[in-house]
Amino acid sequence: MLAYVLRRLLHTIPIILVGSFITFVMVSASGDPLGDLLAKQPPVSPAILAAERHRLRLDLPLLEQYWRWLTGIVRGDWGPSVSRIDIGHEIWPRLLVSVRLVVLAVLLALLLSLVIGVISAVKQYSWVDYLFTFAGFLLLSMPAFWLAILLKQQAIDVNQAAGSTLFYTVGDASIPPPVGFWPTVADIAGHIVLPTIVLALTTFAPWSRFVRSSMVEVQQSDYVRLARAKGLPRRTVLIRHALRTALIPLTTVVAMDLAVLFSGAVITETVFQWRGMGSFLLSAVRDKDIYAVMAWLLLVSVIVVLFNLVADLLYAVLDRRIRLG
């Protein structure tokens, strides 16, 4: 197992390098970071433009720009920013904010997809199955931004009717933050409820369909029929034999959808005005900040690659017939 993990990690290095270079070329060609400066009136002096171009490394060949960015990351230097922020100092706190949202949304979506998928498979072609199918397709068709705005407005109406703040609708934490550990934890938990619900509801629908289809297929397999014939309790057959095998395709889907979740988090964080990776990316794109955009893309790509590695390792845990040599 250790040899497999090390081999996979070595394989991911060239994937990340090639992907980062292609992304760097595309981001560099997306626009001129000095466009806003060139459009100013009265015009900026050529000396200032030359100094800014040198600071942003725009006077270097593209390959040298990429090499200096890549070697700088090893030293903790994420490159110069158009807005003159320290990208490394700015992105790590934002990453923690976004990761806690994505992780909680994944856990909630997994719970919903497992419960609804298993019930739909057991009650196949019943009114319960049709109801869950309709609800799943309905949520799947809803745009994330529309659901977030709708839920936020409903929470505002509830707060106004109650005369107090029952649901936090703005920010990832109160400003100023409460004093003490547990009040801080409670404050963060209160702010994360609505964004987590939005991200989970727009995610679990396709996952529940995968669970349902896998459970329907597994229940017809020979080893499940044998377990029933041996007189094992229905719950044991359903959970220990059928569900465990049905989780394998769900594991693959969750790992592949992680990048989609971070993209959905950008929209959700924007609606609820979080200071996470979403607002960081939007500001970087608006300012044509090449190195800030590359920092976001690099971190997300590394997270996706690592989660795909975890998914591969889970295969051997869920199905003992699979051995990773």
pLDDT for 229:
80
Residue 323 confidence (pLDDT): 60
**CA–CA dist 274, 96 (Å, integer):** 12
174 Ramachandran zone, left/alpha/beta (phi>0; psi -120 to 50): beta
Cα distances (Å, whole numbers) of residue 64 to 70, 71, 72, 91: 10, 10, 12, 24
Q: How far is CA 271 from CA 19, 163, 288, 307, in A?
A: 30, 23, 22, 27
Of the candidates 314, 298, 310, 312, the residue with the CA atom closest to the CA atom of residue 13: 298
Give the pLDDT confidence score for residue 66 in this predicted structure. 93
| Cα separations in angstroms, 115 against 205, 219, 239 | 12, 16, 11
Residue numbers of the chain with a pLDDT score lower than 70? 1, 316, 318-325
How many CB atoms within 10 Å of residue 86? 11
The dihedral through the CA atoms of 202, 275, 34, 82 has a sign that is negative
Tens of pLDDT, residues 196-228: 999 888 888 888 888 888 888 887 777 777 777
pLDDT of residue 108: 92
Cβ contact 53:34 at 8 Å: yes
Query: Taking CA 114 as the corner, what is the angle to CA 265 and CA 108, rounded to the nearest 5 degrees?
Result: 30
Rounded alpha-carbon distances, angstroms, from residue 198 to 2, 50, 60, 193, 268: 38, 46, 44, 9, 7
Q: What is the pLDDT at residue 144?
A: 82
Look at residue 85 and give its three-state secondary structure: coil
Cα 149 to Cα 191: distance, rounded to the nearest angstrom: 15
Separation CA 64–CA 54 (nearest Å): 13
pLDDT at position 65 is 92
CB count within 10 Å of CB 27 equals 19
CA distance 99 to 227: 41
What are the structural domains, with CATH classification, of the chain? 20-77 (no CATH), 99-318 (1.10.3720.10)
pLDDT digits (tens, 9 = 90+) for 264-322: 788 888 899 888 888 888 888 888 888 999 999 888 888 888 888 877 777 767 666 66
> What pTM value is reported for the model?
0.83
Which DSSP string do the residues of 267-319 spell out, in sequence order? HHHHHTT--SHHHHHHHHHHTT-HHHHHHHHHHHHHHHHHHHHHHHHHHHHH-
Joined tokens for residue 205:
């629908």
